[in-house]
Amino acid sequence: MFPGISILAETLALCYNEGYPPNQRGAHPFEKERKETVTIQRLEREEAHRLYFARFREDFVPSELRPWGSILRLMDQGAYSIFASKEAGEILAYATFIQCSGALLLDYFAVDPARRGQGVGTAFFHGLQKLPALGQAPCLYIEAESLESAPTPQERETRRRRIQFYTRCGCVESPWYAYLFGVEYRILLLPLEGSLPGEEQMREQLLSVYNVTVPMHTDGTQEGFRRVCRVYRREGI
């Protein structure tokens, strides 16, 4: 379990004008006064199970989907948590995190397709930053599919917009890339508390997370690990 989670009720209330992130509140151009109250909650195993089979399979392609058994094992180890943004009991967005050796990695982040473009994702991301669980780590690591490896101009643009979403939310690009099961990711990080780790420490922390999660999908040997997982500067490919 993440440090500090059990101290609070694990619920955070957010209010925002529809279509605006929290740091841009103001009059809506159409003077739309309606406000929505959203709660962020940590999901327990039963609700996480329902969410996985109802939403994960729709939000992510099979090659990106971590098996439920893998998630369950990590949850049992206290290394995996799932948070959801809710309105009137409905899940608007969700995010999952892996924590290991002081490193915190965003594993999945998704918004209900019907609520995209309404500021839900931005408000949720900002709200997550206020949770005590995230405050225990100096930064949050984020994997974003790299622009350089995009197979088409259209896919490159999709990836560029995704990276821009994170940078608008305060994330910065690190010098590191990760190769995971045939996909190249640019590593971004979100400063949380304290000073940021040095570049080599970033790499060590990422590898500490991958050494916990990746062997579940390989033969368990270091050779098998290296075949599917690397952390590098791009000029070092």
Instruction: Report pLDDT for 19.
Output: 39
How many structural domains is the chain composed of?
A: 2
Q: What gap in Å lies between CA 7 and CA 193, rounded to an integer? A: 18
Do both 222 and 121 map to the same domain? no
12 phi/psi in degrees, rounded to 5:
-130, 125
Among 104, 137, 170, identify where a domain stops.
137
Question: Domain residues for 32?
Answer: 1-137
Element (H, E) at 233: none
Q: What is the pLDDT along the chain (237 residues), one digit of tens a residue?
A: 333 333 233 444 443 333 334 333 333 332 333 355 779 999 999 999 999 999 998 999 888 899 999 999 999 999 999 999 999 989 999 999 999 878 999 999 999 999 999 999 999 999 998 888 676 788 999 999 999 999 999 999 999 999 999 999 999 999 999 999 999 999 999 988 777 899 999 999 999 999 888 876 677 777 888 888 999 998 755
Instruction: Report pLDDT for 1.
Output: 38
Do both 61 and 133 map to the same domain? yes
Do both 216 and 152 map to the same domain? yes
Q: What gap in Å lies between CA 170 and CA 188, rounded to an integer? A: 10
Do both 46 and 116 map to the same domain? yes
Among 102, 117, 137, identify where a domain stops.
137
Do both 178 and 124 map to the same domain? no
Residues 6+ apart with CB under 8 A from 190: 129, 139, 140, 142, 166, 169, 170, 171, 172
Question: What would the two tokens of residue 174 be?
Answer: 């690190």
Among 113, 137, 161, identify where a domain stops.
137
Do both 125 and 172 map to the same domain? no
Q: How far is CA 97 from CA 28, 51, 61, 79, 81, in A?
A: 33, 15, 19, 8, 5
Residue whose token pair is 């690397």: 230
Do both 147 and 58 map to the same domain? no
Do both 145 and 99 map to the same domain? no
Q: Return the closest-CA partner of residue 82 out of 53, 120, 58.
A: 53
Name the β-bridge partners of 140.
104, 190
Instruction: Kindly report the pTM of this predicted structure.
Output: 0.81
Burial of 61 (0-12, 13-18, 19+ CB in 10 A): exposed
Instruction: Report pLDDT for 173.
Output: 95
Can you say how many angstroms the Cα of residue 119 is from the centroid of all Cα atoms in its chain? Answer: 17
Do both 124 and 164 map to the same domain? no
Do both 104 and 175 map to the same domain? no
Do both 225 and 187 map to the same domain? yes
Do both 132 and 19 map to the same domain? yes
CATH number of the domain bearing residue 102: 3.40.630
